[in-house]
Every structure is written in structure tokens, then in C-alpha cells.
Amino acid sequence: MMYQPHHIAAVTTHRRRGEIRNRFSYGVDFVWIDPEATIEQPGLFSRNRFNLFSVHDSDHGGALAAGKGSSWARAVLSAHDVDESTIGMRLLTQPRFLGYGFNPVSFWLAFRDDALIAVIAEVSTPFGDRHSYLCHLPEFAEITNVSRITTPKALHVSPFQDVKGSYEFKFDIRSDRIAITILHHNGAEGVIASLSGLRAPLTNRGILRASLRRPFGALRVMILIHWQALRLKLKGAKYRTRPKPPESEVT
């Protein structure tokens, strides 16, 4: 599978179900990279150093701000009896913008040849917690756009949602676009979150256009998270205090 860094000018949509409903859609910028590549990137994008857009290994793979990069993702797969020597890794994430970064969720994608066989959804919270969910089918069969993967919810993500129920993941990963849906099943309540967008080569022009269209990057995402929290509070949503995070890194 040939490496081509991509830029996804995506749309994320969240819809809260239950007695207190809420819905929003925002534009976000993601990059699709080979986390182990050493080839030159567009001038306005860097790995592990300051730039307009950048991705740092310390932001991914393990604890927040102490990530180990792709070696961590490979170790997770190896612990589940995947021969990591046959795997190609990709990382789908929001880049840092002028050095600032925060990702509610990033995705490690494991391919065998051109078949997607596993996804590690790396979930981070504004409270400084992180937990990852290893998504795969039995015997690590190919994940397609009709696959449904369910895992228990383990991390306190929102003060307006209980840590119970389960997540259902759907991945539609194509050469020209991506679409990911996460459904939180929690009885009558729950959240449907989606991320979708077209894939295009990562270029300086695209980075500049994104910076003008959605200035401040991840800082803007953090501000919007707090804005939606305020909206829920004003609607009367019950506030839950942050419980102790799970001891394990991966579910």
C-alpha cells in the first residue's frame, strides 16, 4: 500500500438522544499519515516539531502527553496475537495547530495488504484522561463498511453521560473518503457521533485554506466542547462528577 499523506476536511456531528436532546455539526481538519514514514512532507506540516500543522508521537499511543507513537499500537496488536510484522499502520488524527493540540478521538488503523483488520480508537478527554478501544472482528477478519463492532464503554467522556452501556463502531475507509460512526448505547439515552470527509493529498495550499476557514485548529475544538457543555447545562442536563479512570489503557 503506497504511502500518501492525506488531508480530510471533515464534518463531525453529534446527536444526543433521550429526554434532553442536543445536536451539532462542525467542520474539523484531520490528517491521515503513515506514523512510521520518514519521507518529506509539505513545508507547512511537520512531525515532532513546531509548524502550522504538526503531529507529535508524544500525543499518541499511551498516556496523554507521554505517548510512544506507533510502537505502542503495534504492541497492543501483538498482545492480541497479531503478527505485527505483516501490518501497515496509519494514523487518522487532528494535527496540532501552531503547537497546540487536543484530540477527542484519534484512530490507529491496521492494514494487512489493503484490508483493514483493526482500529484502535484513542479517546481523550478535557479532564486529562485517555482510554483506547481495540476494534476488530473475530480472528481479525477484514473490517468493511457493513461491519459492526461493539465494546463496553469504559471512560468518563462527558459530565452529562454515565460510564455505562456500550459503543458500536462503524468504519467506512476508502481511498477517496472516510466515514466513521460511533453509537453510544445507554438505554433510552446515548449519543451518535460521526466523522466524515473526502481524502485529498496533504498540501501547503490545503493547510493554508484550512487555517483560514477554521482558525486556531484544536483550540477551537476545545472551545466548542465547553460551549456544548454549557448548552447542556442550561437545558437542565444532570452533571456527573468525574469517576476514577480505568486502570487499563485498552478495552
- 28-65 residue pLDDT tens: 999 999 999 887 789 999 999 999 999 999 999 988 88
pLDDT at 1: 46
pLDDT at 3: 66
Closest CA to 6 of 240, 197, 228: 197
Bridge partner residues of 173 (DSSP): 178
Residue 241 lies in a domain: no
Range of the domain at 160: 6-235
Distance CA 82, CA 178 (A): 24
C-alpha cell at 32: 491521515
Residue 242 lies in a domain: no
Residue 249 lies in a domain: no
pLDDT at 177: 97
Residue 26 lies in a domain: yes
**Cβ count within 10 A of residue 146:** 7
Number of separate domains in the chain: 1
Strand order through the sheet with 88-93: 130-135, 115-124, 105-112, 88-93, 22-33, 6-17, 189-201, 177-186, 166-173, 149-152
Beta-strand pair 88-93/105-112: antiparallel
C-alpha cell at 43: 513545508
With a cut of 70, list the residues of the chain below it in pLDDT: 1-3, 188, 232
Full-model pTM: 0.93
Residue 106 lies in a domain: yes
**Residue 23 backbone phi and psi in degrees, to 5:** -150, 140
How far is CA 17 from each of CA 22, 190, 192, rounded to the nearest angstrom?
A: 7, 5, 8
Residue 179 lies in a domain: yes
Residue 245 lies in a domain: no
pLDDT at 208: 96
